[in-house]
Amino acid sequence: MEAIRRLGIVWCVVWAARAQNPCPRPEEIAPCVCIFDQSAVAVDVDCSDADTSDQIYTAFNDATWTFRNLRSFRMEYSPVRDLPPGVFGSQSFQQMEIVFTDISTVDPSALSPSADRLTSLTMSENLVSSFPFDLLPEMRVLTHLDLSWNALTFLPAIRSSSLEALYLYMNRIDRFDEGTWSLPNLKYFFIGSNQFSELPLGLVESMGQLVVFSAQFSLLGPLRNGSLAFTGGAIDEVNLAVNSISNLESGAISGLGINSDLVLSQNGIRELTEDSFRPILEVLSRGAGLLQLNGSVRFASL
């Protein structure tokens, strides 16, 4: 009987949501737009026509919102320059997509109301130079983070128990924090087209589910022992093409599987030394794995 009563309450809530549009009046939130998806009982907000963060702040803090848990926020091709403290009020989102804007800074409190709900955050093709990476451990359901094509120059040690895809390519990253990274569920890590010349030791050791690691088109020089120590046996592709890698120390790359592809083309490698490459080739030769090189490479007594 109790189960029937609860089901009835749920149906009443759903029916009420379907019967009444929970969006504020359009004039209250303009130039932002609220869209009610009646079939999914979900609310989306688009602020692509906003020119300033003040307009977004007003839309979320001064308007009357009866529906706090929104589905998505979108903004594209906007001159908005920042996401200041409390810009979204107490509204939360499951998905956020902010692309082709002038945003350079993101205050942690702009994202904190969504910490328990946000699953996907895309902020690509902006001017982001500062991002609250320290907030990531609190974002327990975030699986997708795309900060590609921005202006980041420094990366702290990133920690997240939920992230599965991390896109940081096409920034200006030239420095890493030497702290301990912790991304146990990360599968896809794209960090190429940046300005770093070396990787922090232990960078990928916590990434036991990693499938693809791409750091191509950067300034990587010779790889030190332990630079890329993959764990878990899930790695399919390691792409280090178009760098300045002239040699690998023994143990620089380890943990590859028999079907892994290691791409080292368009680097400065002229000799495959036994200490560095025999352990790699012994693994790859047992399956369908590939070592991709180009140019004139000499096998030194392998």
Side-chain-facing half-sphere of 283: CA atoms under 13 Å: 18
Distance CA 63, CA 60 (A): 6
Residue 84 confidence (pLDDT) above 60: yes
Distance CA 226, CA 203 (A): 9
Tokens linked to 78 = 């906007």
Residue 300, pLDDT score: 52
Determine which helix (DSSP H) or strand (DSSP E) holds 96, and give its type and residue range.
strand 95-101
Q: Collapse the DSSP code of 37 into the 3-class scheme (helix H, G, I; strand E, B; otherwise coil) and give the result.
A: strand
- Cβ neighbours of residue 277 closer than 8 Å, sequence gap 6 or more: 248, 291, 302
Distance CA 82, CA 108 (A): 12
Beta bridge partners of 298: 271
Q: Which amino acid appears at position 215 of this protein? A: A
Residue 36, pLDDT score: 96
Tell me the average pLDDT across 164-184.
Answer: 96
- Cβ neighbours of residue 116 closer than 8 Å, sequence gap 6 or more: 92, 140, 141
- What's the pLDDT tens digit per position in 4-51? 455 444 444 444 444 578 999 999 999 999 999 999 999 999 999 999
Query: In the structure, what pLDDT confidence band is assigned to residue 298 with cuts at 50, 70 and 90?
Result: low
Q: Which amino acid appears at position 262 of this protein? A: L
Domains parsed from the chain with CATH numbers: 2-300 (3.80.10.10)
